[in-house]
Amino acid sequence: MLRKAVKERIVVELTNLYDHFFITTKECKAKVTAARLPYFDGDYWPGAAEDMINQLFLEEDDRKLQKKGKLKKTITKRALRAAGQTDLSGNASKDAILMQKLGETIYPMKEDFIMVHLQHSCSHCSTLMVAGKRWVCHQCKSFYICDSCYDSEQRLEAKERHPSNSRDLHVLHPVDIVGVPEDTKDRDDVLECEFFDTRQAFLSLCQGNHYQYDTLRRAKHSSMMVLYHLHNPTAPAFVTTCNICNNDIEAGQGWRCEECPDFDVCAGCYNKDGGANHRHKLTNHPCVDRNAQNKEARQMRIQQARRMLDLLVHAHKCRTAGCQYPDCRRLKGLFGHATRCQKRAAGGCSLCQRTWSLLQLHARTCKESKCTIPRCRDLKAHLRWTQQQSESRRRAAVNEMMRQRAAEVARS
């Protein structure tokens, strides 16, 4: 798909994370530093880098406790200068050590870290050129520089200009950049679905339903089912199987044990013995309301959720006794009940469970680092911890897979 996109000039360049950020060409003047790496939540390298940073600090603390003097620098000043670092302090040394270790980890699987460039990057400073002009060398393959680097190039002596490894002087030609449109507002409706909140949630959905993209037929089916879940967030995400006959159970047609994990029985097997063969009581599955799947109902649910979140923020800040804001007094009453209740949500209190669900919904959407809504920071910290744990398990699985692959190559 990407090679076709390159041919159709939708994509201007294909590379990978290692070649683009860890290897410098002779004319590249950008620093080899972790600050330049693209940082996305749920990606492989940020978690691996954080583990390495913690390890570096632990090693430094151990050396201090053992009184063996200062931290031994494994990166020389000459190597720092070669990486484009002007700061030769201890922090730059740690940055270089981190990049070295990260590069060693990523290198065996660098082809999996695909980078797709929708705009050309400057061959000198590596920034993406989205406006103005780019200066192209017709004699060299894939050499482009931005306006600012071109101005710096013109101030150099002739022998120091491009190309740096040749006595010949190449002429750079200007090309107008078709920049990003001024109006980039997305006018499509925002669809709320928990499976698309994080990478791990989406991965769990695909693994649980065996959605794969290795063939065109499977990719079509998986894409269709992913769109179905996106547009029908209340529909069952995973197919339930009968523990007796192993047949799939349709929504609302099965019975479930509330005590045993993942014990479900279809209506046919339940009607045969009435659940007598199971030691616990079986309860009927709630049937999904098909009318709740239409667009109008979804929009109403989304608007209602937004109103509740706005009400939560208002009620928390409101100090007026007779506030006329709709449902403000009722939500304040829920807060008051939650502080006095001895049963709590864990004990089965329906009012506390309702308050807790509202606080969790707020925490998932809140972007403020110093939010004052009760338990918001605790809930966000718990969500981050849960995500970090799943990402750590995924990184460990990837590392084990790479070790097995390397062992197979060594044996062969």
158 and 209, same domain (yes or no): no
Q: In this structure, are 203 and 336 located in the same domain?
A: no
30 and 53 fall within a common domain? yes
- For position 84, what pLDDT does the model report? 55
By the 8 A CB rule, do 29 and 125 touch? yes
Examine the domain organization and report whether 272 and 312 are in the same domain: no
**Predicted local confidence at residue 222, as pLDDT:** 95
pTM for this model (two decimals): 0.60
Output the domain CATH number for residue 266: 3.30.60.90
pLDDT value of position 188: 83
Report yes or no on 225 lying in a domain: yes
Same domain, 91 and 229: no
387, part of any domain: no
The answer on 368 and 279 residing in a single domain is: no
- State the Cα–Cα distance between residues 167 and 135, nearest whole angstrom: 20
Of 210, 129, 140, the residue nearest 169 (C-alpha): 140
SS3 per-residue string spanning the chain: CHHHHHHCCCCCEEEEHHHHHCCCCCCCCCCCCHHHCCCCCCCHHHHHHHHHHHHHHHHHHHHHHCCCCCCCCCCCHHHHHHCCCCCCCHHHHHHHHHHHHHHHHHHHHHHHCEEEECCCECCCCCCECCCCEEEEECCCCCCEECHHHHHHHHCCCHHHCCCCCCCCCCCEEEEECCCCCCCCCCCCCCCCCHHHCCHHHHHHHHHHHCCCCCCHHHHHHHHHHHHHHHHCCCCCCCCEECCCCCCEECCCCEEEECCCCCCEEEHHHHHHHCCCCCCCCEEECCCCCHHHHCHHHHHHHHHHHHHHHHHHHHHHHCCCCCCCCCCHHHHHHHHHHHHHCCCCCCCCCHHHHHHHHHHHHHHHHCCCCCCCCCCHHHHHHHHHHHHHHHHHHHHHHHHHHHHHHHHHHHHC
pLDDT confidence band for 252 (50 / 70 / 90): low
- What sign does the dihedral 382-387-390-391 (CA atoms) show? negative
**Final residue in a domain of this structure, among 251, 285, 319:** 285
On whether residue 402 sits in a domain, the answer given is no
What are 123-181's pLDDT values in tens digits?
A: 888 888 888 888 998 888 788 899 999 998 888 887 788 887 777 778 889 988 876 77
Q: Which of 132-141, 270-279, 387-396 is predicted most confidently?
A: 132-141
Rounded distance between C-alpha atoms, residue 79 and residue 105, angstroms: 20
pLDDT for the residue numbered 275: 63
Of 11-25, 267-281, 394-408, minimum mean pLDDT range: 267-281
Indicate the residue among 176, 211, 243 that finishes a domain.
176
Is residue 53 domain-shared with residue 114, that is, in the same domain?
A: yes
- Domain at 309, CATH number: 1.20.1020.10
> Is 403 part of a structural domain of the chain?
no
Average pLDDT of the chain to the nearest whole number: 80
Residues 172 and 210 in one domain: no
Nearest to 173 by CA among 152, 149, 150: 150
Q: Establish how many alpha carbons lie within 13 A of residue 287's alpha carbon, considering only the half-sphere containing its beta carbon.
A: 6
How many domains is the chain built from? 3
Look at residue 257 in the predicted model and tell me its pLDDT. Answer: 78
pLDDT at 217 over 80: yes
Best-predicted range by mean pLDDT among 58-67, 217-226, 317-326?
217-226
φ, ψ dihedrals at 181, nearest 5°: -60, 150
pLDDT recorded at residue 161:
82
Q: Give the separation between CA 341 and CA 331, rounded to whole angstroms.
A: 15
Higher pLDDT, 395 or 84: 395
| Tens of pLDDT, residues 367-389 | 888 888 888 888 888 888 887 78
The residues with which 133 forms a beta bridge, in sequence order, are 176
Q: What is the pLDDT of residues 104-115, one digit of tens each?
A: 888 888 888 899
Q: Mean pLDDT lowest for which of 35-49, 71-85, 248-262, 324-338? A: 71-85
13 and 86 within one domain: yes
How many residues are present in the chain? 412
Query: Closest Cα partner for 112 from 324, 410, 333, 401?
Result: 401
Residue 212: the pLDDT is 92
Same domain assignment for residues 49 and 149: yes
pLDDT at 226: 93
Residue 40 lies in a domain: yes
pLDDT of 295 > 50? The answer is yes
Q: Does 134 lie in the same domain as 61? A: yes
What's the CA gap between 229 and 193, in Å, rounded?
8
Q: How far apart are CA 208 and CA 223, in angstroms?
A: 15
| Average pLDDT for 266-275 | 77
Query: Is 251 domain-assigned?
Result: yes
Domain boundary among 228, 258, 285: 285
pLDDT at 71 (0 to 100)? 46
Q: Stretch 218-233: mean pLDDT, rounded?
A: 90
Q: Within this chain, do residues 111 and 226 fall inside the same structural domain, yes or no? A: no
What is the pLDDT, as a whole number, of residue 233? 77
Range of the domain at 264: 199-285
Residue 193: inside a domain, yes or no?
Answer: no
| Phi, psi for 288 (deg, rounded to 5) | -75, 125
Confidence class for position 286, pLDDT limits 50, 70, 90 = low
Query: Does residue 106 lie within any of the structural domains?
Result: yes
Bond prior to 163 in cis (omega within 30° of 0): yes
User: pLDDT tier at 74 (50, 70, 90 boundaries)?
Assistant: low
